[in-house]
Amino acid sequence: MIDRFHHFAAIDWSGAAGERQRGIAVALCDQGSAAPRLVRPGHRWSRAEVLHWLLHDLPVNTLVGMDLGQSLPFVDYSAFFPGWIESPKDARALWALVENVCKDEPHLGVSTFVDHPEAALHYRRHGRREGSAFGAPGQRGGRGRFRITERAQERLGCRPYSNFNLVGAAQVGKSSLSGMRLLHRLEGRLPVWPIDPLPEAGSVVVEIYTTIAAMAAGRTAGRSKMRSIADLNAALAAFDTAPVPSAGPIDDHTSDALLTAVWLRTQAHRHDLWHPAGLTPEIAETEGWTFGAP
């Protein structure tokens, strides 16, 4: 597994409305200890451009980490949307459902899905709109439902948000749904682990949580965001990586992507991260998993 991947990419993703997003950053590094670099520095990416890059410009044998939720909670109710007759049976069918509902929405947007009368019952939305089915079994409301991998993240000291929560600056619900539209459009041309098995060769997409990378570099969950080159380079040094040749401020989307690309480089060889204790075949097919969660 040590030489399995030749390149390592991290994509900080965004589900915000509109075509081009300040919140998207794409970073890349190679084997060795050289500093990571931005792909198209200074460019404001669209989600469609990220999809095109993955399908047409991705270097051979790249491990790609995307900061989004591959799926929604399933195990707690044995369903993504209990009570909805169209509730899908696995993650790929979920991606297809989101794509179908949002097929006329541009820029991989997902407002049509969260406003769907059946789906909306399960979401907490802005304007104090909380669906009647929002929440875990026996506990309506609260922080919402969580995947098994998100509970594993909590054991690392992270504080994940439910993908059914669309309220707050740290919510990841819409970015995960827009990411599902992208994953659906990969159409099997780029495997998505663990929903797809890890192939013996070629590039692979995994889910990442950038806070895990920051904590591995010695930062706390509450201080995971780096907004200066000095802080970023201090974190890179924890991975025996050359510093980024710059100085001054940096936005946290960029620093998240740069650091996590390097973290992937240092962790990709670990057998235990590809075979976490909590990952079962059912969970792999329905909820997916976050690379780096135990």
Sign of CA dihedral 101, 161, 221, 292: negative
User: Which is nearest to 21 in space by CA: 59, 47, 58?
Assistant: 47
The answer to whether residue 282 sits within a structural domain is: yes
Q: How confident is the model at residue 2 (pLDDT cuts 50, 70, 90)?
A: low
Tell me the whole-structure pTM to 2 decimals. Answer: 0.96
Does residue 55 contact residue 186 with C-beta atoms inside 8 Å? yes
- 223 and 114, same structural domain? no
Total number of domains in the chain: 2
How does residue 79 score in pLDDT terms, banded at 50, 70 and 90?
very high
Residue 188: what pLDDT? 84
State whether 178 and 282 are in the same domain: yes
Name the residue among 114, 105, 251 with its Cα closest to residue 176. Answer: 114
Residue 294 falls within a domain, yes or no?
Answer: no
Classify residue 123: in a domain, yes or no.
yes
What is the pLDDT, as a whole number, of residue 220? 83
Q: What is the pLDDT of residues 227-270, one digit of tens each?
A: 899 999 999 999 999 999 988 999 999 999 999 999 999 999 99
Answer yes or no: is 42 within a domain. yes
Dist CA 223 CA 243 (whole Å)? 20
pLDDT at residue 260 in the model? 98
Instruction: Kindly tell me if the per-residue pLDDT of 15 is higher than 70.
Output: yes
- Residue 168 pLDDT: 79
- The verdict on residue 291 lying in a domain is no
Name the band, by pLDDT with cuts 50, 70 and 90, for residue 128: confident
- Does a structural domain hold residue 1? no
Are residues 194 and 162 part of one domain?
A: no
Range of the domain at 109: 91-184+278-286
Residues 282 and 138 in one domain: yes
Which H or E run includes 30?
Answer: strand 25-30
For residues 212 and 246, state if they share a domain.
yes
Q: Using an 8 Å Cβ cutoff, are 182 and 96 in contact?
A: no
Per-residue pLDDT averaged across 43-63, rounded?
A: 97
Query: What's residue 224's pLDDT?
Result: 85
Say if residue 144 is in the same domain as residue 180: yes
Structure-model confidence comparison of residues 222 and 283, the more confident one = 283
More confident position, 82 or 226: 82
Cβ neighbours around 189 below 10 Å, total:
9
Residues 179 and 96 in one domain: yes
Residue 100 shares a structural domain with residue 171: yes
The answer to whether residue 75 sits within a structural domain is: no
Check whether residue 169 and residue 116 sit in a common domain: yes
What average pLDDT does the chain have? 94
Residue 105 has pLDDT above 80, yes or no: yes
Task: Indicate whether 3 pLDDT > 90.
Answer: no
Same domain, 156 and 282: yes
| Residue 96 neighbours by CB under 8 Å, 6+ apart | 88, 184
Q: What is the pLDDT of residue 171?
A: 81
Q: What is the pLDDT of residues 165-215, one digit of tens each?
A: 998 777 889 999 999 999 999 988 999 999 999 999 999 999 999 999 999
Output the pLDDT for position 182: 98
Are 172 and 99 in the same domain?
A: yes
In a domain, 61, yes or no: yes
Shared domain check, 47 and 104? no
